[in-house]
Copies of this chain bind each other. A is one copy, B any other.
Amino acid sequence: MMGEFELIARYFRRPVRRADLGVGDDCALLRTAPGMQLAVSSDMLVEGRHFLATVAPERLGHKALAVNLSDLAAVGARPMAFTLALALPSADERFLAPFARGLLALADASGIELVGGDTTAGPLNICITVLGELPAGQALLRSGARPGDDVWISGTLGDARLALEVFRGTVALPGGDFETVRRAMEMPTPRNALGIALRGLAHSAIDVSDGLAGDLGHVLAASGVAACLDVDALPRSAVLAARPVAVQHECLLAGGDDYELAFTAPQARRQAVVAAGQAAGVALTRCGTIEAGRGLRLVDRAGRPVAATFRGFDHFAPAAAP
């Protein structure tokens, strides 16, 4: 079995490009440009909670970094670097080689590098800290939503939750459809180009990781406002759109693991928002309005209230009930 140092050297050490000093000393050394703020976020992934034992290691490597990059996207920071702390039952090359490949492929695609971290024996646990930079004062915060703002969503919501329900046995899908939604769950695309394009344009933003209703709720609470959301307008894949309406609503609003951006922007900037989405290569859907007050109202396209009491997984289906 490989030791910690050999393991790091074999799979994770690469020449640094942007950092002043990368893996191999007590700390990594980095510099931000003058006038820039540093954005920092840490996420920990635990088997059974953030990923299933069935996930391919290459996809897990991708996902572990993607969910962290998504936090940088949500504030509009440009990714710079990341650290990886990894607890593994054993230094198994059949896991490590594809895990590192998936992780570093997304790092390369995102223009960032692994600058440090830690490996240890223990129950599988992946903790990544990402560092990004952005012009001081331009961060997209949860607290900036204002009455009159449009609510926008990137990409589509709900496929990751639908895939989870297939694994849980509450939903059956044809093989091709299952692969489509499974990919959404296991290979989310962080929206960093979009987050950067939204600087100075969006009033508030969050990444949808725990389900839209809850995550948008954080924005509303932090901003001291209410929102009205058109449930029929929420963007969904053709696979999800073919499911019963109750399943669609649950997956769209209480799904989780979407890693799309939910953001608010002034109505007067609609053209600029559309252009930002086009520049970033991601579809944007306008699906609600920020209002004065408190809380989240759900309506259909005719403006009629939609009843929804989402209680997470328990609420989903009889097979998932306690």
Contact = CB atoms under 8 A, between A and B. Distances in A.
Interface of A: 20-21, 24-32, 34, 36-44, 46-50, 71-72, 74-75, 77, 81, 83-87, 115-118, 120-123, 125, 127, 129, 131-132, 136, 139, 141-143, 205-207, 222
Given A29-B40, A34-B34, A40-B115, 19 more contacts: A25-B74, A27-B39, A27-B40, A27-B41, A27-B71, A28-B40, A28-B41, A30-B40, A32-B32, A40-B81, A40-B129, A42-B85, A42-B116, A44-B125, A48-B122, A49-B120, A49-B122, A87-B125, A125-B125
Contact of A44 (B31, B34, B86, B132): B86
Contact of A30 (B25, B37, B207): B37
Given A46-B121, A125-B123, A27 B116 contact: no
A139 B84 CA distance: 22
Contacts of A123: 46, 122-123, 125
Given A121-B46, A129-B129, A141-B21, A37 B26 contact: no
A313 to B, nearest CB: 13
Contacts of A143: 25
Among A31, A49, A118, A136, max chain B CB count under 10 A is at A118
A39 B222 CA distance: 31
Contacts of A87: 44, 46, 125
Contacts of A207: 26
Contacts of A75: 25-27, 29
A122 B46 contact: yes
A37 B20 contact: yes
A83 B41 contact: yes
A127 B41 contact: no
Given A123-B125, A129-B129, A38 B38 contact: yes
A116 B41 contact: yes
7 contacts: A24-B142, A29-B39, A40-B81, A42-B117, A44-B120, A49-B121, A127-B127
A44 B88 CA distance: 11
Contacts of A129: 40, 42, 83, 129
A20 B40 CA distance: 11
